[in-house]
Structure 1
Amino acid sequence: MDEHIRGTYFQARRFSHTFDRYGITAIAAIAHDLGKKSAPFVQYLKADVKARGSVQHAIGGAIALFSMKEEVEDERIIMAAAIVAGHHTGMPDLRTVFTEKIPKAPQYLKAIPDLSQMEMQIIKDILKRFPGLPLGGKSDSKSSFAYKEMLMRMCFSTLIDADFLDTERYFDYGKSIKRQGKAFSIHQLDEQLQNYMLELRREGRDKEINKYRNEVYMACREAAKQPLFFRALVVPTGLGKTLASIAFALEHAKQFNKKRIIAALPFVNIIDQTAQKYQEVFGKASVLEQHSQLSYTDDKEELMGRSRLAAENWDSLPIIVTTTVELFESLFSNRTSKVRKLHRLANSVIILDEFQKLPIHVLAPIFQALHILMEHFNVTVVLCSATPLSFENAGLIGNMGAPIEIFENRNQLFECMKRVEYIRVEKPLTVSELVARMKEHPVALCILNTRKDAFRVYREAIRQKVNGQHIYHLSNRMCPHHRKKVIEQIKEDLKNEKSILVIATSLVEAGVDFDFPAVFRAMAPLDSIVQAAGRSNREGKLDKGAVFIFELIEGGMPGGIYRKGTEQTKILLDHHGTAALHEPWIFEEFFRSLYTLGGDDLLDSYGITSLKPFSFETAGRLFQMIDQNTVSILCKNYKSENGQIEKLIRMYKEALYLTKEWYREAQLFAVNEYVDGSFFKENQNQLEKVSEGWYIWHGDYDMKTGIMDMDEGGE
């Protein structure tokens, strides 16, 4: 145990030295396993048969620390006690540690202070050696509490990671060694990027659009040298934001001693694309792609093994590509598995791509957390989008101040990049009329507001099919493995200039590099319409692409803020016309009016920012990026290669329990459905429950459109 405490202590100090100047992590590391000194735990160790978890120990260290409270009046003791109390079960609300957990602890743990005199003396020495926490005055007490909350989260994360790693080193030294593979340094990665960009410029010298891409790239390079930690890169679609933003991040990391770059995106299909681009530039050994639909069991290579280990704590690899859900739910979670990687955010550059897609109901707590990270943990945040967002609403960004734009002449750039003409269809269309209009274009993309509408239009398009034109369907009715294959086929057809019609939902709007001459978009919120337009004439091959904005008779519409945004867009277009969609000021007006419509709790629907300080467990329970309950449904009858689904179902039937890897791989072949939605309610007889939130779908799966309701026919 002494060896383990030393190992945990030195790892934790190494991880936390840049942000924990007060010794909180050191105290927690010394105290975290003191509960193992109890007589029942010693007996448990000596027993021939051990029931894991039968003897409590985690709260023992908290009891030892709490016993010092009267002798040593220092809030660091209280903070460390809460961290120790949760290092197995999750970070508790601070209040419950001292009103419930310690008073209700087993009697045998009450003896821990007497058994830990040496460690308690070491802790007293640490308190003297490290400076105390700064005192927050009344005027800034809220921000002081917010900082201390984040500091506790970071220290908790550090202890969890150090504890896991030292335990792993003892029990599985081979696994521990595997973590230590070499990755390129930030300087080496930047050199690789510069060489890659030189080659790109040589190849695309004659293309007009490359002049603008190079301007954006060079602006990012120059802006990165400034000590400004809250930036925005808002430029039109197709100008290389993916590479320009990573150029900013690498240059900035060199200048200001950042250790890691974290690119967070709203949708898995964009992550796939972004990660592939980064891996093409930097190599797989330097880029970790992490999301729920990536399995590390596909590949037996050593590299995949290292990636799986790095995904646990974001160690060793300098570039992380993940979802905004993974990033922010980890930031507000109290669970050890989620929180373990959190301390890696310190000294990083966080790129929030397509940030306008962040869910509006949690924007206030998200920006409050980002503010603390920037102010106290050497984090730089870059907001990337093709949609200018209004930051005038103080509730959105609190007292952060608006981000400084990287590309200062963005309005001029939007003026130069008018690559499409917006055409508003005057009267609402039936499904048949919409398809007839689309058929006038040999190559077209149509984006609908709901899966049901996309299916209706696809079915009608098949009925009216023109010889030689291939028709594709894309929606979340299809599992991720299926969608990815279809997207790749569409790109191949576009490259080969084939006649195709793609009917999709909004999943293609952000980050999917489609380039269609004509796009049809059902009336939607302003930012969705402009994102859809980014799928037209992306490479500037035409004088103007055509974007048709239409209303569908009996068309569906998501509720909440999406519906309100659509209504507001119609008002703006009625008043200003479609020409205004090229003007950045219309976005300011749109978002400003949207925030006003939303009410006081629009940006913090769960009241996270109003919770009592140090309510970690409560915040973790309340905070949800997706504000509706969904379940994952494994599509048994999807035709996967290599019998992957059959293998997953066999494992489910035979295994004693399902591993994280099972769930991760199953997500590739699963469709998410709302618990209160009609599909889930009306098809119970075809659903087999696997575990909480997971089902197997025994119904049909159409290889063109995905899961089918009982009353639907496939094409």
Structure 2
Amino acid sequence: MSILWAHSKDEDEAEWQPLSEHLVNVSELSAEFASTFGYEQWGRALGLLHDAGKSCDRFQNERLHNRPVSVDHAAFGAKRALELYGGRGDKDDACGSGAYVGELLAYAILGHHGGMKTSIDMENRIERLGTPPSPGKAIDDYSPYYVMIDEFPDVVPPDRVDLEPTMLSRIMRSSPEALQDNAVRQIFQQHLSFSGQALTRMLFSCLVDADWIDTESFMSPEVAEKRGHDYDSIPMLLDRLENHLERLAGKAGNTPVNEARAAVLADCREGAVSKPGLFTLTVPTGGGKTLSSMEFALRHAAENDLERVIYAIPFTSIVEQSATIFRDIFGADNVLEHHSNYDFEEAAKEGREYERLAVQNWDAPIVVTTNVQLLESLFSNKPGKCRKLHNIANSVIVLDEAQTIPIELIHPTLAALEELALDFGASIVLCTATQPAVQNEWPFGSCPHELCRAHEELFSKAFDGRVHYQIVGEILEKDLVDKLIQLHQALCVVGKKAEALTLYRDVVARARESALIEDNREPYEEGFFHLSAHMIPVHRSQMIAKIRNRLDAGKRCVVISTQLIEAGVDVDFPIVWREMAGLDSIVQAAGRCNRNGGRTDEVGEKVPGDVFIFEFAERDEAFVRSGTRSFLGKTRSIASELLNVDGLGIDANTVDLYFRRCYQTEGLDAKCIVGDDGKGHRKYGSSGLYEDMSDQKHLSFSKGLLSRYMDYCYDFEMYARTYRVIEDSGESVFVPWNEKGMKLFSRLHSHEAFREEASLIRQLQPYSVSVYPQLMRELEQEGLIEHLGLVNVLRMEDDCRTVYSEETGLLPPDEEVLNVMVL
């Protein structure tokens, strides 16, 4: 037979890749990836079937020669998967439990370029194989595929009986009597459905990563050579951490805080010998949980032969801070930082060009990333986002500040994390000072193990006297200004950006009146700072660095901020003012107060820091009404009640009670991703993941393969669309700030094609601010936004430089400030 081809570079067939070679290469890689979690033959089957449709006569005769023709080369492979693996398994079947292997493989094959979609899409695409591609054309001929597999035995997919049994089928076989209990059977059925989509997505990850790697090796060998960086082993990284901790211990004084940190570290070392599973680490703010949790993760990985540590953090600024700490300990080569603001160009200049490739599949021993990157990938349907998933298997995942998981996503998030532990060999650590009350919320019956013992006396001695909470009640804004202006060092955190801006301006005005700021000086030069999300990330980071320097030097430092400073930003103020908010936010704000327990009085005696909890007195009626209805308003009310009832004591029991009350006001699956909203209500007309396996009532299958085989009816598009850690309706606006920003601005203007590249979008993120629709319309109406390709750019001509302030960031277009932005 004539050779079938997979990829072409030019018209010279000597430079083309044979289809059989590509299928075998991808199958071997995919099988290797899937073997990590026990599904090697499933991965092999995917690799051998994914491009089987390229055997089509139209693809070989027209598409490979770059003629404009549309060929759905994935549909034929999906059809073969259904034919080979789609029958119901009986109890003697290797897959067992009625597992419909063909459907799961078909989803992955059909989505390996454009993304996994729905069972309806599967039906339609496979049925179109039996119709002409256009009127007057013949039906596509796939007979060359069967000739190829006769000629090349290595291309023949494995038999169904060779595919490994699923985890749940193994459970069913080992304990069939347990399923006689109705409650157990219901949980098992829900787990079976959820497990099916999770397995599909994990196998999809193996396929797309293998496919992209082999295609890259053929089409761009110079790029492929940069992969496979030689990282240090997990034991070597653990040794580096041990050496670092030993140096820290040698410098640490014999204080209650250091004793508490040592106890936490000892607990993490002891717990690391456990088998992989689910863990919690509950440590008071300042208790050293960052390094202790990394100690557990690396030691646990070494004990259990796990492959990497993934450290997920909710806020980008804290990711950057933690990644810097880890790079100093482990070496920059061993730490992969992945978030929207990371500058891969700068890393490339420092000899780490491989990082741009490593973020595609998280091929590194230590990955520091955001909750968004990690959690949304677990529900994504796109190849780019899912590609890294197979490297999450057999890893230790630390979720720092676990209380920030959105309440409406708790059930689907816990289900995904529990599935990673049960079926994919991962260990999960929920790490925080304010542990969410999810002990009884794990969908499939797991019970996490707490790593930190109840060091009540030690923690009380180290941390209880560190801060003193005081409820101020309502206060006029002008009175709050009077109090802040008298303080040498203080942090004030409010809930809204507009309020933070107004308060900051009033404080600065009063400071100028009091001669605390000279006329020719900027407020931040005299120690008055503003922080909010209206400042671009690189600008914010520079301001935080200035704040730290002034605090360390004992200089005046009064900061007005939104809550972005609360979780994980390592600053230490003697006094904190916090607008009433959820209890977890109040505790996080208090973590910026007397953080290291070093505050003293005039005679050198240790005294607690002061945390003042207040509410603005001037609230309009609309705000009050919205506050009683909104979830954030309800959390404020719950926190206010508990603080009054509990006499201001904020201990673990108070935090637990707070979260339990919050869970009663908001469904833990409010978007109905896995079944219901947590209060028995169904939304969006969806049965949810727990029932999508066998719920075919909404489908209209006609005849043929799917009417005989289809049982796992998933809607991967809906899951990806609905699971959003951050619901952001804003648009990104690029601000050409400082020298680096102006260079990017120049490149935008000079290279038309460059504007469309994803790499540029990533480079712009540290210089971009998210703008809500109303403000965006106002900026556009004033002619302050320039659209360059896909990028919104804040115009930087002299007549509108005042729209972005060096003090406060982006301003509404009708406001003017005297200072001109430094470019």
AA matched with 1:57: H
Secondary structure at 1:383 match in 2: strand
The Cα shift of 1:212 comes to: 1.4
Secondary structure at 2:429 match in 1: strand
d(CA) in 2 for partners of 1:569, 1:325: 27
Match of residue 389 from structure 1: 436
Match of residue 574 from structure 1: 644
166, 184, 195: which one pairs with 1:147? 195
Sort the Cα spacing of 1:713 and 1:21 in 2 relative to 1 into closer, same or farther, 3 A: same
Q: Runs of 5+ in structure 1 lacking a partner? A: none
AA matched with 2:468: Y
- Indicate yes or no: 2:163 matched with 1:83: no
Match of residue 211 from structure 1: 259
The Cα shift of 1:368 comes to: 0.5
AA matched with 1:183: Y
Question: Contact 2:418/2:446 (CA < 8 Å) preserved in 1?
Answer: no
- Indicate yes or no: 2:432 matched with 1:432: no
Question: Contact 1:64/1:112 (CA < 8 Å) preserved in 2?
Answer: no
Question: Contact 2:87/2:100 (CA < 8 Å) preserved in 1?
Answer: no
The Cα shift of 1:359 comes to: 1.2
d(CA) in 2 for partners of 1:708, 1:584: 41
- Indicate yes or no: 2:625 matched with 1:546: no
Aligned residue runs from structure 1 range 485-524, under 5 A: 485-524=542-581
341, 346, 359: which one pairs with 1:311? 359
Question: Contact 2:88/2:100 (CA < 8 Å) preserved in 1?
Answer: no
Question: Contact 1:510/1:531 (CA < 8 Å) preserved in 2?
Answer: yes
The Cα shift of 1:306 comes to: 0.8
d(CA) in 2 for partners of 1:372, 1:523: 37
652, 656, 677: which one pairs with 1:588? 656
Question: Contact 2:503/2:560 (CA < 8 Å) preserved in 1?
Answer: yes
d(CA) in 2 for partners of 1:54, 1:411: 67
Question: Contact 2:55/2:144 (CA < 8 Å) preserved in 1?
Answer: no
Question: Contact 1:645/1:669 (CA < 8 Å) preserved in 2?
Answer: no
- Indicate yes or no: 2:781 matched with 1:701: no
d(CA) in 2 for partners of 1:71, 1:236: 54
The Cα shift of 1:625 comes to: 1.3
AA matched with 1:229: G
Match of residue 598 from structure 1: 666
Question: Contact 1:443/1:499 (CA < 8 Å) preserved in 2?
Answer: yes
d(CA) in 2 for partners of 1:518, 1:309: 45
d(CA) in 1 for partners of 2:538, 2:103: 48
410, 413, 420: which one pairs with 1:363? 410
Question: Contact 2:190/2:691 (CA < 8 Å) preserved in 1?
Answer: no
162, 165, 173: which one pairs with 1:129? 162
d(CA) in 2 for partners of 1:642, 1:598: 42
Question: Contact 1:36/1:57 (CA < 8 Å) preserved in 2?
Answer: yes
Question: Contact 2:213/2:224 (CA < 8 Å) preserved in 1?
Answer: yes
- Indicate yes or no: 2:385 matched with 1:338: yes
Compute the TM-score of the two structures, normalised by the length of structure 2: 0.81
AA matched with 1:96: D
d(CA) in 2 for partners of 1:697, 1:125: 57
The Cα shift of 1:205 comes to: 3.2
The Cα shift of 1:388 comes to: 3.2
Match of residue 630 from structure 1: 730
Secondary structure at 2:472 match in 1: coil
Provide Cα deviations, 1:330-369, integer angstroms capped at 9, x if missing partner: 1101001111111111100000000101111111111001
The Cα shift of 1:240 comes to: 1.3
Match of residue 687 from structure 1: 785
Match of residue 565 from structure 1: 635
d(CA) in 2 for partners of 1:357, 1:71: 43
Match of residue 619 from structure 1: 719
Match of residue 115 from structure 1: 145
Sort the Cα spacing of 1:15 and 1:348 in 2 relative to 1 into closer, same or farther, 3 A: same
Question: Contact 1:297/1:661 (CA < 8 Å) preserved in 2?
Answer: no
Sort the Cα spacing of 1:88 and 1:599 in 2 relative to 1 into closer, same or farther, 3 A: closer
40, 46, 52: which one pairs with 1:28? 46
Provide Cα deviations, 1:212-233, integer angstroms capped at 9, x if missing partner: 1111111111111122511111
Question: Contact 1:346/1:377 (CA < 8 Å) preserved in 2?
Answer: yes
Question: Contact 2:56/2:140 (CA < 8 Å) preserved in 1?
Answer: no
Question: Contact 1:479/1:670 (CA < 8 Å) preserved in 2?
Answer: yes
d(CA) in 1 for partners of 2:236, 2:669: 46
Instruction: Kindly name which structure, 1 or 2, has the bigger radius of gyration based on alpha carbons.
Output: 2
- Indicate yes or no: 2:60 matched with 1:42: yes
Provide Cα deviations, 1:667-687, integer angstroms capped at 9, x if missing partner: 111111233xx4234433133
Secondary structure at 2:62 match in 1: helix
Question: Contact 2:474/2:615 (CA < 8 Å) preserved in 1?
Answer: yes
Match of residue 103 from structure 1: 127
Bigger shift: 613-622 or 586-595? 613-622
- Indicate yes or no: 2:342 matched with 1:294: yes
Secondary structure at 1:297 match in 2: helix
634, 650, 654: which one pairs with 2:752? 654
Secondary structure at 1:116 match in 2: helix
AA matched with 1:8: V
Question: Contact 1:365/1:609 (CA < 8 Å) preserved in 2?
Answer: no
d(CA) in 1 for partners of 2:104, 2:143: 18
Question: Contact 2:638/2:658 (CA < 8 Å) preserved in 1?
Answer: yes
Provide Cα deviations, 1:165-206, integer angstroms capped at 9, x if missing partner: 111111222221211221110000000000001111111234
- Indicate yes or no: 2:254 matched with 1:224: no
d(CA) in 1 for partners of 2:468, 2:816: 35
d(CA) in 2 for partners of 1:182, 1:711: 54
Bigger shift: 205-214 or 518-527? 205-214
- Indicate yes or no: 2:375 matched with 1:328: yes
Question: Contact 2:493/2:561 (CA < 8 Å) preserved in 1?
Answer: yes
Sort the Cα spacing of 1:400 and 1:263 in 2 relative to 1 into closer, same or farther, 3 A: farther
Question: Contact 1:363/1:603 (CA < 8 Å) preserved in 2?
Answer: no
The Cα shift of 1:92 comes to: 2.1
Q: Runs of 5+ in structure 2 lacking a partner? A: 1-18, 90-98, 133-137, 173-178, 180-184, 518-525, 600-606, 678-682, 694-713, 819-823
The Cα shift of 1:243 comes to: 0.6
CA RMSD of aligned residues (A): 2.5
Sort the Cα spacing of 1:600 and 1:259 in 2 relative to 1 into closer, same or farther, 3 A: closer
Bigger shift: 419-428 or 157-166? 419-428
d(CA) in 2 for partners of 1:611, 1:89: 26
476, 484, 489: which one pairs with 2:541? 484
- Indicate yes or no: 2:76 matched with 1:60: yes
d(CA) in 2 for partners of 1:186, 1:647: 43
d(CA) in 2 for partners of 1:82, 1:388: 37
Question: Contact 1:262/1:320 (CA < 8 Å) preserved in 2?
Answer: yes
AA matched with 1:479: I
d(CA) in 1 for partners of 2:157, 2:323: 47
The Cα shift of 1:295 comes to: 2.1
Match of residue 709 from structure 2: none
Identity %: 30
- Indicate yes or no: 2:398 matched with 1:351: yes
Question: Contact 2:45/2:158 (CA < 8 Å) preserved in 1?
Answer: no
Number of aligned residues: 702
Bigger shift: 431-440 or 342-351? 431-440
245, 255, 270: which one pairs with 1:197? 245
Question: Contact 1:16/1:155 (CA < 8 Å) preserved in 2?
Answer: yes
Match of residue 667 from structure 1: 765
Provide Cα deviations, 1:37-59, integer angstroms capped at 9, x if missing partner: 11111123563x544x7433122
d(CA) in 2 for partners of 1:245, 1:642: 36
d(CA) in 2 for partners of 1:627, 1:300: 32
Question: Contact 1:634/1:670 (CA < 8 Å) preserved in 2?
Answer: yes
